[in-house]
Every structure is written in structure tokens, then in C-alpha cells.
Amino acid sequence: MKIRRPLAVTAAVILVGTAIATKLAATSSGGEAHATGITAATQVTKLASTSLLLSIASTGKRLVAVGERGHILLSDDNGGTWRQASVPANVTLTTVRFASASTGWAVGHSGLILQTRDGGETWTRQFDGIRAAQATLLAAEAGGSPERIKKAKLWIQDGPDKPFLALLALDEQRAFVFGAYGLSFMTDDGGTNWTPMDDRLDNPKALHIYGAALVGKSIFLAGEQGLILRSDDGGNSFRKVPSPYDGSLFDIFAGPTGDLAIIGLRGHAYRSVNGGDSWAECGHPGEESVMGGIALSDGRYVLVTAGGHLLVGDQACRTFSSVDVPGAGPLAGLTLRQGGELALVGAAGYAQAQIPPYFSEAGK
């Protein structure tokens, strides 16, 4: 039996076309096709750097971007030139994060988890949707939960058709991955073993989880229907946090002073200075869905939108100015390059932008 609820898969489906504001797609592909993608190596193409890219990270000296068809791109000259890494899968990759300059993970469709220990040069397949469903069933049977057992059996029947969408790497040993229908796994041994943890989340509707962030010593998650979860015990349990919005939240990130921001559909953005106990709406960035964001060291917020705009907000997240990024197209993610410039990814691949200078008037 297929789970038919529509699935939002970061920007992967909606960045190509006109319906980019909703992020909605359906998990209708067969399990056999997904299993083939897990085991087939990605193809090397000269067009990879201008094809759909969904996430980008900096290791300090290197930029690493991931996207469709299992593409993982590396740049050692601050985005001037790009080359493809060796990748043992050709499914869409949604997120990449590094715990150190050498060790990082990339996750994506078909429940795929890849790891690198050499800064992105080579990647190994640690986990996939087939093993994820089997591990969940074993954990459910051990716990004796009939509902969890039923759900795990449905996942096995469906095949590896559910993506991971969020990734949090605490260090080289500890990492968390989250995704569609509440998929949740963690490792404390560098990825040798991945343990199901969906039973630790206060997420009875199995809502999709799109973003994860570490703020101080707390872990925060954000997802569909305004879902916000918080863990104060290192990920052993997650409780619901009151949400200011009932639509999808696509990203969550920390500011330099312990503040916290969430962003999502139709330009909704909120900021909390007390760990999510209360939220203040940011000065409305516009009507375009906000897909990713970061906070600068000076406290300002930078957001990217599904309409292809770069938005820079003040330190209180009250007002935003738009920065033109010619030819970038719809944007999905961003990070800081060496020198403090912005590295962006989206439907047209890689782009870059200058951060406008800080004006004290913007922080008043």
C-alpha cells in the first residue's frame, strides 16, 4: 500500500517549472526504480555545475554542492571552477553538511546516506531506504508498538521511495538525518550504524521534516504544517514547540547571539530569542517561498527564495532588502565563501553574490 500524502522534497521538483511556491510532489515512483538509483554510479557531465543543485556547504577551503542525479561538485578556488566527485549513486541529493574539513555526509532520495572522509573527493554509501525500512521494523518489533510495526511493514512494501531532507552533523561521530513522513535516524559511531528514532519525536502525524539546526545545546527541527520540535537532551527526545504558522517551514537556523529563525511558504519568516517559546514575525520578505537562510556574524539575516531572489534582513529581522543575482533562477540554498561572499545554488546550478555593506540604519 502506497502512502499517498503529497510530499514536499526541498526544492527538487518545484524549482524546475512554474509551480515553485508550493514545493509539492508525489511519491509515486516505484520502489524498483529507486533501488536501481541507489546502486548505479552518477554520470560525469560537463553541465553538472549548471544543473539543479539543492544544497551547498563550505569545508573551510573547499565548496561542496549536491543536487540531481547524484551530482556532487567540488570547488577549490572559491567557486571559480568546479569538478565532479566520485559518487556511488545517481539519485537526487538534497542536503550536504560537514562535521570537519574532512568528514561530512550527503543525504537524499531513496533514503540514501553518503559519507566522505576526505573532504568530498570520494563518497561511500552508508545507508539507504531499504535498510532504513528494515531497521525501523526491527526496532518497532523490539519495542512492541503495533502501529509502528504496521507503518514499518508498509515502508518495506513501498520500497525505498522516501527521501531524507534534513541533516545535522554534530561531530565526526554523531549525526542526525530526517525526512519524509517523519523518517528519523541517528549515528554515534560515524555512520557505521544508523538507529531509527522516529519514536523519540512528538510527531504522531508523521509530518515531513525539512530542516534541522543546533542552537546552543538544543536541537531544533522544522517541517510541514508548521511543525517545530526541540530536544534539550542531545536528541534522546523531541517535544513540540508552539508554532506561529501552520504552513510548511523549509529551513531553521541559528543566529550569532543564540537567536533562532524559521522560514517557509509564501515568504513566512519568524525569529525567536528565547529558544522557540515565542516568535516574532520578520518584516515580510515578500510572497515568494523562502527556501534557505543563514545569519551573518554581524547579526543580519540572508535568505534565498523560490523566485530567485536574495534577501538581506537587519539584525532584528524587521526589514529586508533585495539583492539582484543575474541568471541565478530559483534558489534553494546558500553558504558563505572564503572572503565572506555568498555561494548560492538552485535551478541554474551555482551562483555567487556580494553581501551588501552593513548600514547602522538597518539595525535600528
Q: For residues 114 and 108, what is the distance between their CA atoms, to the nearest angstrom?
A: 9
Q: For residues 77 and 83, what is the distance between their CA atoms, to the nearest angstrom?
A: 11
Q: How many CA atoms lie within 13 A of 320 on its CB side?
A: 25
Please, what is the end-to-end C-alpha distance for the chain in angstroms?
A: 55
From residue 58, give the alpha-carbon distance in Å to each of 44, 335, 343, 351: 22, 7, 9, 14
Q: For residues 155 and 134, what is the distance between their CA atoms, to the nearest angstrom?
A: 9
Q: Which residue has the cell 502506497?
A: 2
pLDDT of residue 50: 87
Q: For residues 98 and 167, what is the distance between their CA atoms, to the nearest angstrom?
A: 10
One digit per residue, the tens of pLDDT, for the chain of length 364 reads 344 455 544 433 434 333 333 333 333 344 444 555 676 677 777 778 889 999 999 998 899 999 999 999 999 999 999 999 989 999 999 999 999 999 999 999 999 999 999 999 999 999 999 999 999 999 999 998 898 899 889 889 988 889 999 999 999 999 999 999 999 999 999 999 999 999 999 999 999 999 999 999 999 999 999 999 999 999 999 999 999 999 999 999 998 888 999 999 999 999 999 999 999 999 877 889 999 999 998 999 999 999 999 999 999 889 999 888 888 899 999 999 988 889 999 999 999 998 888 754 433 3
- Inter-residue contact 209 to 222 (CB < 8 Å): yes
Please name every residue paired with 300 in a beta bridge, in sequence order, or none if there are none.
none
- Predicted TM-score (pTM) of the model is 0.89
- Inter-residue contact 343 to 336 (CB < 8 Å): yes
Q: What are phi and psi of 220, to 5 degrees?
A: -120, 145
As a residue count, the chain comes to: 364
For the domain spanning 7-356, the CATH number is 2.130.10.10
pLDDT of residue 292: 96
- Inter-residue contact 29 to 36 (CB < 8 Å): no
pLDDT of residue 36: 55
234-237 own/partner pairs: CB under 8 Å, 24+ apart: 235/176, 235/186, 235/197, 235/200, 236/200, 237/200
pLDDT of residue 283: 84
Q: For residues 11 and 67, what is the distance between their CA atoms, to the nearest angstrom?
A: 10
